[in-house]
Structure 1
Amino acid sequence: MQQSPVSQSTALIPEAVNAAQESDVVVACVGDLAGLFQSGTVGEGSDTDSLNLPGVQQQLLEALVATGKPVIVVMTGGRPYNLQGLEDKVAALMMAWAPGQEGGWAIADVLTGRVEPQGRLVVSVPKSAGAMPYYYNHKLKSGGTPFAFHFGSRYPFGFGLGWTQFNWGAARLAQNSVPVDGEVVLSIDVTNRGERSGSDVVQVYVRDKVATQVRPLQELKAFQRVALAPGETATLTFTLPVEMFNFTRRDGKRIVEPGEFELQVGASSADIRDVVTVNVTGETRVLPAEWRMLSTCQVQHA
């Protein structure tokens, strides 16, 4: 296998430590080197069997954290990495993915406070390589037992931080029972309880409680960002076609079965703020080719 060009030398780490000791804040940029077929650390043909940072980047971060200076880690690349416990010791961690030619400006705007960080994870960041593959929408293990703690995510799907804090009200259903070809309407109030303007992302996950096939514990079906001034409240009303509660039967047909469906409303796949249950009535429905696959949301500011 071709050797990755990432350096394994630690010779420059003392120089970085000296610069950190003379600074008020450290911004450490780490991550991947893009390349094809092992010419880099990420890209086509550049798989890995580890969640550790390539090269000596972990040693660099450990040395910088040891200076006692606030360390902000900016990570670029195509996959999440495990900082081996430094996640709890650094001042901040930004996942910038592959930000492009204007990425430097965007990162600087976030770090200096010119704009609010608003991103939400589109993957789960696992706690260890032993958990791979790990998905937020996993099924229960054999016997119905949940995943072990160390097989979970350090940062769950949908996770992200911003400038302020929000209070969420109770989730409300327009109807507790809907037909198999109907719609579920769900509302929730969100209030900015902080001292700064900011935004939050309300996420709606669905769980099919009893089905003829084993179904995931949750699946994201709707989400909506809402921006609020300090003390401001908004009501978000989601409309989800029951067709979105479908799965593919063994004969290849996409169907919706009647029964109870759990709607989990949260700030991430793990941070569920409220749960309501709707009963879908009628007979099992085979969906047409052009079924409704999108939800809608109306935001009403108080």
Structure 2
Amino acid sequence: RAFDTVWHAKLLDKLSSIGISGRLYQFVQAFLADRRISVRVGASLSDEHTLDMGVPQGSVIAPTLFSVMLHDIEAKEREMKLSPSSVQSLQILFCLLITRSWVAEGLISPILSLSSFWCKKLQTSANMYVFNLASADLLMCLGNFPLLIISCFAEEVREETDLAKKKGQSTMCGRWGGDGGAVGWSCKIYAFLGGVAGFVSINTLTAMACDRYNVIYRHKGLMKTGSRRHSFGLLVSVWIYSIFWSAPPFFGWGYFRLDGGRISCCFDYLTRSTSNVSYIIAIFVFCFGIQ
């Protein structure tokens, strides 16, 4: 019965928006067009009704069309409308969860990590990596969580795009909006800090793996020494590397954007411009792949 929920007009519009055209588009259009149904009850037969929803079950193409309709693969934001009471309940619940994480990860974890450096026995190169992970968590909690809580309770900003004006509709720019529907600096800072914290955590774990490899195979490892000075230099490089790959959207290579929930920001992984696609591929390779 799920296949019966496919709305023809919306499906064709989505196919057109992602670049499907020509004979393939005409084939799908003909496949969906002029489908009729009538119902028989005993000796009575109803009038025929032309269907504007659903795809023929049992056909090979039906699951593909249903998947296209089900998954939002087009670069458009969906506006979700909730009742005021539901919004307030979600806001309170979300803030409680954020506060809990902020206390646990933003305060307790860094304090425990810092306390390890007060004890000389714990001042080892291995513990420096743990401290660096805690520092990344601290950055996330102190830099991102306050902005996220503000976003949950901030008044929504609506900006009309040119397309919406033609249709007489309005689109939601979001709580992070800037002029003309573009994301503001608060969104960019939030996405940048989140990227730095995430990349630092990933690269620190990679450095920890290299350090453990060096301990086990000291003469064959990537790092010939296991001193704290060497580890400190490596961790400084981790921060520089992470900032280097998080900053390009500020200079025109790649973009920041609102995420699907419209209460936080991240790297733009939907826009298909050459600049943005090349940036997403680059951070995938150099910040996830090689690690």
The verdict on a shared fold, with TM-score over 0.5 as the criterion, is: no
| Structure index of larger Rg | 2
The alignment's TM-score, normalised by the length of structure 2, stands at 0.20
More strand by share: 1
The alignment's TM-score, normalised by the length of structure 1, stands at 0.19
More helix by share: 2
